Every structure is written in C-alpha cells, then in structure tokens.
Amino acid sequence: MPAKLSLLCLINSVSEKDSSNYIIREAIAIIRKEDNTSMDLKLTSFIPKSSSAPRWIPLFEPDNILRLTGKFILEEEPPHGILQITANAGDLIEISKDNLPTSSVSVFITGFVVDQVQNDDNIFKSIKIITSEFAGNNTNKFYIKCRYLKTDERIEKKATKMRKNSSVMITGELTLVNSEFKIEIQDLNFLSTTIGNIESSSTTSSSASSLYSWPTTPSSRMSAQKIANTLTPQNSIPNNQPLNIVTNNELINDENSSHDDDDDTSPSTQTPPNTRTPSSTRSSTQKTPRGRKRTKK
C-alpha cells in the first residue's frame, strides 16, 4: 500500500554516486511554503544508464526548479527529521530561483486504520494509519497521523464509519506540526481488503508522471514514448501491407455498379440492331422449337 507525493522544489546542492546500471543523484532541496517559510527535504533519484530505458527524472543541477512525484517514508515515531523522498518522475521548470512559487506537498496514501478517530485538540480530529513506501512484500512500513477539522462534515461522516483495520485511501496535504509530519485530509475513501492488502500481489500501479504534460523543449529527461519514437517510424504504413480502407464514395459507386449489372442482365435488354449474336448466346425466342419440321417453299 504505497505512499506517494508531488511537489515543486528548488535544488540547493547535488551529490552523485555510481552503480552498475544507474546514476544515483542525491540532493538537498527546498520548498517555499504558503506562509513563505522554507522546508528542507532530501531527494534521491535513480537515473538509468541505458539509452533504451525511460528516464523519467532529468539530470537536475543546483538552482534548478524541479516538479516531481515520488514516494516517501517517515521515522516510526516523531520527532520527524528531514523529509526523505525517492523521485519517480519530474520536469524542470524554466523559472529563476528568485521567483520560486509556493508549493504544498500533495499526498496520496493507502493503508490500514491503526487508531480510530480521536480528538487532537479543540479544532482537529485525527486518525492513525499504517502505510508503506511502496506496494509489495517486506516493504518499509510506517505510521502517520491524518487529521481534519471538526467542522468538516463531509470528512466527519466518513471518518465515523472507520473501524480498526479498515482499509482506506486518503488524499491530502503533508504538513509539519511540532516536529511531526501529518496529513491534512482532503478526501477519504474505503477500499476492499483484497485491494488494500499490503501483501496482495494484485495491487495495480500506475506511473504518477502520467499526471504531467511532457515538455517539448530539449531535456535530459527521456520518456518511454520518446524512446519509442526513435525506434519506430510514426504514422507510416509499410508498402507491403496496404490498409484495406473503404470510403463512403466507394460504397456508393459499388452500389451503382451493381444496379448497372442488374440492368444489363434484365429480361428487357435487347441486342442492338445490326449486331450478330453468337449462337451460344441467342435467346430462346430465336431458336427453332423442337418437334416442328421446316417446310420447303
């Protein structure tokens, strides 16, 4: 049951490691929050060396503005340290660091309810969820509190139906409250156990990068479709495999032609004058009836 996020950040510093199949880039990045304060995060990306493999993350450098989606993990108990993210997909944004826009940390998680609804204070209620960094066996599981305003009747109606071990999907915004990361719930839905089970092998996944429109400007980022475009010609048909396409005009012509054929073979068709008709094709009216003898004059 994965925990995913998306955000916009400024790359502050970059270090690089080498492995057999990947270039491992680690960065300290900065988010400008809506209150104009900053939050640090640690970003890791695995960039494939193979030219035939998709490169969803560009080769970011210091002072780059990066929009990304990725997975995250927290310490088991607060206080929480720097937010650690493994980037799955992203784009470089062509703006200067002085014009860095504010950004929230949008979060999508699926998990099981550990603690049912409790009062945080006079304003918020919270739910404790166990989730994981990504789907599969032996994954890094962690706990996170999800909260909502007591005045939010829409969420309250759903939250009061929760029971321990309920399987849920939550979308919201990750926020840091007194050295503890919490999710402010924007929407909440229940999942069936077979879908939500952490150990289930039937969990479907989709790339979060599909939420973005890929830039047309040159980039070190290489999508799967871009690779495919270099391997196969686009909008071309092999000469030895013509398409059998029938248009409306051809259908009309065929229909008219069939009517012409019917007219040619109809009984009212007459042989043009002064035209000899072969004996094999003469009509039965021109043949001498059987059993009648010809008389000589």
Task: Report the pLDDT value the prediction gives residue 77, as an integer from 0 to 100.
Answer: 84
22-56 tens-digit pLDDT: 999 999 999 998 888 899 999 999 999 888 888 89
Nearest alpha-carbon partner for 36 in 100, 107, 106, 105: 100
**Phi, psi dihedral angles at 94 (to 5 degrees):** -85, 70
Sequence-distant (≥ 6) Cβ neighbours of residue 129 within 8 angstroms: 109, 111, 112, 113, 114, 143, 144, 145, 146, 168, 170
Task: Report the pLDDT value the prediction gives residue 27, as an integer from 0 to 100.
Answer: 96
Contact (Cβ atoms closer than 8 angstroms) between residue 26 and residue 44: yes
Residue 136 and residue 149: Cα distance in Å, rounded? 33
Residue 4: CB atoms within 10 Å? 20
Residue 139: CB atoms within 10 Å? 16
Task: Report the pLDDT value the prediction gives residue 61, as an integer from 0 to 100.
Answer: 94
Residue 238 and residue 247: Cα distance in Å, rounded? 21
Which residue has tokens 């270090």? 15
Task: Report the pLDDT value the prediction gives residue 213, as an integer from 0 to 100.
Answer: 53
Greatest Cα pair distance in the chain: 133
Q: Spell out the CATH class of 3-200.
A: mainly beta
- Domain chopping of the chain, boundaries: 3-200
Task: Report the pLDDT value the prediction gives residue 188, as an integer from 0 to 100.
Answer: 94
Residue 27 and residue 42: Cα distance in Å, rounded? 6
Nearest alpha-carbon partner for 4 in 75, 116, 89: 89
Low-confidence residues of the chain, pLDDT below 70? 1, 134-139, 193-229, 231-297
Nearest alpha-carbon partner for 87 in 106, 68, 65, 108: 68
Helices (H), the chain: 153-159, 193-196, 224-231, 248-264
